Homo-oligomer: A and B are copies of this chain.
Amino acid sequence: MKITAVQPFYLKMPQITDAADGTQDTLLVRVCTDEGIEGWGECDASPLVSLAAYCCPMSHGNIINICESLIGETLDSPKDVLRLHEKALRNGLDIQQIHHAYSGADIALWDIIGKKLGEPIYRLLDDSSDSIAYSKLPYASVLFGDTPEATYQIATCLREQGYRAAKFGWGPMGKFGEENDIALVRAAREGMGQDAQLMIDAGVVWGTDHETAYARAKQFSPFSPTWLEEPLSPDAIESYGALSKRNPPVPIAAGEGSGTYRMAEDLILHGGIQFVQIDVGRIGGITVAYRVRQLAERHGIQYVNHTFKSHLSVAASLHVFATNESFDLLEYPAAGSELSQNLTVERLEVAADGRVRLTDTPGLGVRVDREAMRKYLVPVRIQVSDREIFQSLDL
């Protein structure tokens, strides 16, 4: 089978705001083959910047675009997906955006190989022939309310919707003193109930100040959070290390910003985190995310997805760690734009038992709803010298 086309699509909502909502636009990637099998992927990245990595003119041997690396290539087995990953990243070594951008292509290639071999992706990633896709406990990601009272209302609402786990993020956290921080966490716990899993996302509010992060971990521990997420800046690995060495009473989670395998490895080895959160649409796709999963297994820490995109990304994320029963939690986008909510025909719904599971459909197991997406398609044209190097196709 040969790759005949690699097509990025820029989709967006009519209005974009500066709210921290990554579902307002997206970059979809379609890969086509000469056998008529096609695959899809999604990047959690700046659509235009990643699109440029698909079509930029060659600068030298280390700046060669993704389309050039893939088109015409042979694709018959999972080994080819790994080989092409290596090739594209080697060709794009000096394109910093390459990992974000290639994520979509890598997911699409796995989708194709799964369809061709008649297997769901998770089974192709795992060597053991009887690999099982375990169900996961989805947790809703929401923001803290502006006050403890508002937070309590949000938590109560989630409990009534049936969520048995929820993560509360940033907003007022870390901004109005320790008493308010504690009151926020207490309110979230009271609203969710004692039996729910509660996660706290500090949204990097304490920068490099691991002393305050440690103090908060101690103060939050009576409310038994599953983790305290990103108390420190993503690059403050030495501060993470200092925090972890003090053995805080709440486990520390981080890693969503990992744009390379090394960034995740660095956090695990030198940051001492206990939950590593990987975005399959940023780190270079399923191929790299799976390597981080294996690293987490070797280090006895828990792998969790980071996902705030469509169900295409939820499915891609879940294939990475579905076969590890003890990696039980799934970040599940409970909200998000219409674009994101309607991107796929199939959805990974929460079952009656409150859990989410993959089906055995070959490939990703979800299809892009091309009809529904057409209205979000942004036409893009890029001209360099007199040559049109990119023009959006129809979906």
User: A346 on the interface (CB 8 Å rule)?
Assistant: no
- Closest residue to A385 on the B side, CB-wise? B378
What 0/1 pattern do residues 3 to 46 of A give for CB contact below 8 A with B? Answer: 00000001010001111111011000000000000000000111
Contact of A383 among B59, B98, B379 (CB under 8 A): B379
- CB atoms of B49 and A95 under 8 A apart: yes
Q: How many chain A residues touch B (Cβ–Cβ < 8 Å)?
A: 60
Residues in B whose Cβ lies below 8 Å from that of A16: 57-60
Residues in B whose Cβ lies below 8 Å from that of A225: none
Residues in B whose Cβ lies below 8 Å from that of A104: none
User: A155 on the interface (CB 8 Å rule)?
Assistant: no
What 0/1 pattern do residues 68 to 102 of A give for CB contact below 8 A with B? Answer: 00000000000000000000000001111111100
Contact of A24 among B10, B53, B60, B269 (CB under 8 A): B60
Given A52-B52, A380-B384: A46 and B59 within 8 A (CB)? yes
User: A235 on the interface (CB 8 Å rule)?
Assistant: yes
- CB atoms of A60 and B97 under 8 A apart: no
Q: How far is the CA of A385 from the CA of B161 in the complex (A)?
A: 39
User: A149 on the interface (CB 8 Å rule)?
Assistant: no
Q: How far is the CA of A303 from the CA of B283 in the complex (A)?
A: 30
- CB atoms of B97 and A49 under 8 A apart: yes
Residues in B whose Cβ lies below 8 Å from that of A235: 260-262
Q: How far is the CA of A270 from the CA of B268 in the complex (A)?
A: 13
- CB atoms of B96 and A20 under 8 A apart: no
User: A266 on the interface (CB 8 Å rule)?
Assistant: yes
- Closest residue to A237 on the B side, CB-wise? B262
| A residues lining the B interface (CB < 8 Å) | 10, 12, 16-22, 24-25, 44-49, 51-53, 55-64, 93-100, 235, 237-238, 257, 259-262, 265-266, 269-270, 282, 378-386
18 inter-chain pairs at a CB distance below 8 angstroms, sorted by A residue, are A12-B57, A16-B57, A16-B59, A16-B60, A19-B61, A20-B62, A24-B59, A25-B57, A44-B94, A46-B53, A48-B52, A51-B52, A96-B96, A96-B100, A97-B97, A266-B270, A380-B383, A380-B384
